[in-house]
Amino acid sequence: MKKIFLTGAILLVVIFLVYEVLILYDNNFRYGRMWETHAVRPLEWPVMAMPEGAVAVDGADALLRRTPPELILPTVEMKDPETIKLGKTLYFTYCAQCHGENFDGNGTVGQSFHPPLPDLRSTKVQSLTEGVLFKEISYGKPDGRQPPLATTIALSDRWRIIAFIQSLDTPK
């Protein structure tokens, strides 16, 4: 019985010493810890309460989801050069990973899809109406290869991306 008690006591002392050494190391670690970075600290603060009605539960996006694509009209000037320029920037931010820098579906992610993604300059894509493109970008495609981006990309920015896509020349 004494051996078991003595072994247990020694084991507890060893565990305690190992714990203390780890704490000492952790407190004197010369590189910052993740929880010490500015990127994480703001998330530790309490989330502010939102006023009633701040989150649209049945607003514009909810209505657009139920609207047939042929009735959806752009909220930006689609031929405006500044709109197209902004759309290009947004495309390379949100879309190029799948659709590629050359708009051919050979982006880093898109090249692994089977069947491959269509070329955004193709007649098939260019003949789609603005409303159809908007719904596919916003709410995804039924086959699941186009993720819904309504919560990721602002409403007007989705229209800017569509303006840019429609400005692309057909490959020769």
Q: What is the mean pLDDT of each run of 10 residues along the chain (172 residues)?
A: 89 94 79 57 60 61 84 92 95 92 89 85 93 92 82 92 91 60
Cα(113)–Cα(98) distance, integer angstroms: 9
pLDDT of residue 113: 82
Q: How would DSSP label each residue in the chain? A: -HHHHHHHHHHHHHHHHHHHHHHHHHHT-SSPPGGGSTTTGGGGSPPPPPPTT-S-SSSHHHHHHHS-GGG---SS-TT-HHHHHHHHHHHHHHTHHHH-TTSSS-STTGGG-SSPPPPTTSHHHHTS-HHHHHHHHHH--TTSSS---TTTS-HHHHHHHHHHHHHPPPP-
Q: Cβ atoms within 10 A of the Cβ of 68, count?
A: 9
pLDDT of residue 85: 96
pTM over 0.85: no
Cα(140)–Cα(98) distance, integer angstroms: 14
Cβ 84 vs Cβ 164: under 8 Å: yes
The CA dihedral of 153, 159, 165, 166, to the nearest 10 degrees, is 170
Cα(38)–Cα(40) distance, integer angstroms: 6
Q: Cβ atoms within 10 A of the Cβ of 117, count?
A: 20
pLDDT of residue 141: 83
* CATH architecture classification, 60-167: Orthogonal Bundle (1.10)
Q: Cβ atoms within 10 A of the Cβ of 135, count?
A: 22
